[in-house]
Amino acid sequence: MPELPEVEVTRLSFASSIAGASILAVRVGKPLRWPLQCEPDELLGMKVQQVRRRGKYLLLDLQSESGDLSKGLLLMHLGMSGSLSFTPTTAFGVEIIAAGKHDHFDLVTTQGLLRLNDPRRFGAVVFAPAEQSPTAQKLLGSLGVEPLTNAFDAKTFHQALKKRQTAIKQVLLGGELVVGVGNIYASEALFMAGIRPTTRAANISLPRAAKLHAAIQEVLARAIAKGGSTLQDFSSAKGESGYFQLEAKVYDRAGLPCLDCQTPIKKIVQGQRSTFYCSVCQKT
């Protein structure tokens, strides 16, 4: 599943190219996880102001062609297997490439074609009249703080952990305290902080929470710099794969020696997700 680094890499790969583009046509293929929430033709003539990210959602801010106040936004989610591609306009105009079997949404703009490919169709494209509207808040309202912003504070993070009696790995994956720390990155951050994934969140001291806070930010930032992780078929909107998985210390390394102490990496299942850790480097 594309996580925060992959979604941010995707955003960076097409945001500047589509900014300022006017929507010429919209094609909706097979049903995705949620309906578009508007007729496709209602989007025609709108202009893409910018592309933002909130958690694992991409937000395309829209305004009318005349430059009036914002007319809403498109919320895009890549689901389990989705990816976006952007084909820039050439000297011959917008190249409309024939849609494939798993291409379920096209946004044709004056600056190129944005296409969602999603074999499993757990992704979504949803129109909302405003970010504070019920439609948008149903998807965004329960998300935790962004980990790469100043809003993610170590002391506040620790205070929130003290109220959680579940395993720290599950707390991170839940996304209510901090958003976007997916399975790969939770395993890596916990290893970097020396915390066992089964440790009860409430039992983590302030100094250890501060280490975990720093590790989360470092792991996510490094993953974005590496283009995310390509485990199966993820690629950016430019078709580029990610390479973070090649430098993972514990994720998907069960039975292999720990790169720090040579102890074999262990694998357990938490909440139906694989967890990897070192029993020596992550004692408690």
Q: What residues are annotated to the active site?
A: 2-3, 56, 273
Rounded to an integer, what distance in angstroms lies between the CA atom of residue 119 and that of residue 100?
10
**CA Rg, the chain, in Å?**
20
Residues 34, 35, 36: CA angle, nearest 5 degrees: 120
Q: What is the DSSP letter of 117?
A: E
DSSP string, 132-186: TSHHHHHHHTT--B-TTSTT--HHHHHHHHTT--SBHHHHHHH-SSBS---HHHH
| Token pair belonging to 176 | 């209510």
